[in-house]
Every structure is written in C-alpha cells, then in structure tokens.
Amino acid sequence: GEERLAEIKARIVGAKYLLIDEKSMLDQDFLARIEQRISKFRGCSASGSWGGLWGVFFIGDDGQLSPARGVSMFDQRASTNNALMGFQIYSQFTTVFMLTTLVRQDDHEEDFKRILGGVKNGTLADADLSLLNTRALGNIPLEAKAVFQKQDTISFFPYNVDRIQRN
C-alpha cells in the first residue's frame, strides 16, 4: 500500500547505487518502469538517468531463466514503446564483468555443476539427462516426494497449465 511505497521511496531517495539481481528474469518493459519510478522518486525527469544514481549494476547469468513475460532486456525485438525504452536503457550499459567460477555448489556436487554448464551451453550429455530423470518427481520415492508436495515448497513449471493444476 501507500505506507510500503513511502518506505521504498525513502530508501531509493537516499541510495547511491542500485543492484539488480537475477537480471535474466527482467524484461524490457519492467526495466523501463523501474528506471522511470526511480527517476520520479529522486526528482529527475531525464529518461535513462536513473535519477542521478552513482551506479546501477545488473547481476546474474543470461543463461538462466528468461522473463516470465515480455522479452529479455538485450533482445532487439521490442513490442511496445516502453519495451523499446527498456532496451535503450539496457543498451547504455557498456561495462561487463564476467565471473567464471561457480561457487554456489559444494565441491562434492560436481555432477550438478557439470549438468548446469551443459544445460546453459546446450551440451547436456545423455548420461546427465539420465541422472536428472532419476530426480524427476515421478521417480522419487513416496516419502521424499511428500517433501516436494508441501504447500510452502517453491515449484517451477514449464507451462502455466501445470502451475494452475498444482495451485
């Protein structure tokens, strides 16, 4: 509500930097709306100025999940004026730092690291696909499956119809 919006505005007005994580999930239209709102909160009307922030950083892996709707920020197919603005805003960013070491998983999870790389690069081996299939919900023992079917479990679905059926 209004109270939450005022709290967010106060934090943004006092900020010097903005970090946006999981950038692959951010579509062009949403990026434009974020920039517009920040500029408005900070009293700056120039488009693409981020309200005078000292720096804006996008963090994430473009090989991960794409936006739920709209197109990725770097995609040149903008479908609306606001999406075009989002693409233009993203195009202003010219410095990129590439992190090359995956540290999210422990060393004993080499299979998972290899599979993530294979999925990202389109080089998933048959053996890796077989390993993933052993972990498909239909192949998990009933007692383990119960953990995944709790209401507070986060689930990802390839199609909206699957999500709707689960909910």
What pLDDT digit, counting tens, does each position of 78-121 carry?
A: 889 999 999 999 999 888 887 777 666 666 677 877 887 787 77
Across the chain, mean pLDDT equals 82
Ranges of H-type helices in 14-44 = 28-41
pLDDT at 28 exceeding the cut of 90: yes
How many Å apart are CA 87 and CA 152, to the nearest integer? 35
For the cut 80, the answer to whether the pLDDT of residue 136 exceeds it is no
For the whole model, what pTM was predicted? 0.64
CA pair distance 13, 69, nearest whole angstrom:
29
* Phi-psi label, residue 70: left if phi above 0, alpha if psi -120 to 50, beta otherwise: left
Task: Quote the CA–CA distance of 156 and 20 in Å, as a whole number.
Answer: 22
Q: Is the pLDDT of residue 161 over 80?
A: no
Tokens 């009293």 correspond to 43
Region at 56 (left for phi over 0; alpha for psi -120 to 50; beta for the rest):
beta
